[in-house]
Amino acid sequence: MNTPKLVRVVRCNSCGLIYPENVFQEWGKKYGRGIGKVPKCEGLQSRYQRGPTMTKPDGSRVPADKIMHPLHVCRGSLNVVDVPEAEAAENVCIAYSDDKGMEKRAAILRSKQAERSAVIKKLRMA
């Protein structure tokens, strides 16, 4: 039986996103800017309880392929764990410092919302 190679990472207890093991040393530098002194997950999550955003702040309409439910910062607790390499590679959290405009993270969540949300499916078909 082939046992997968395990790697030590830091994983969010809430959303399952994974950080490299050095996240605690880099807190306040690369990670966690604007979140506070205590390390928390800075990954984004969909807020399905609220309806999708249909207009931009300037009042113009959001293009159909960009309509999505609002997002919020997870802020779940972080724990050091050993996980299979494949799981670590699939669930990497994109740091805020690498995506200040949220384009990368929003694109990932937009595609997940398109799969999971009946409201989004209806709006995009209209």
Distance in angstroms (rounded) separating the CA atoms of residues 2 and 107 = 35
Q: What is the pTM (predicted TM-score) of this model? A: 0.77
Q: How confident is the model at residue 1 (pLDDT cuts 50, 70, 90)?
A: low
**pLDDT digit string, tens, across residues 23-68:** 999 998 888 877 888 999 998 999 988 888 888 889 999 888 888 8
Place of tokens 């390499």: 85
From 111, 103, 116, select the one nearest 67 (Cα to Cα): 111
Please, how many CA atoms are within 13 Å of residue 117, restricted to the half-sphere of its CB? 23
One-character DSSP codes across 4-41: PPEEEEEEETTT--EE-GGGTTTBTTTB-TTT-SS---
Containing 90, the helix (H) or strand (E) segment is helix 85-90
The mean pLDDT of 111-117, rounded to a whole number, is 83
**pLDDT digit string, tens, across residues 60-106:** 998 888 888 899 999 999 999 999 999 999 999 998 889 888 889 98
Phi and psi, residue 116, nearest 5°: -100, -25
Strand partners, 8: 82
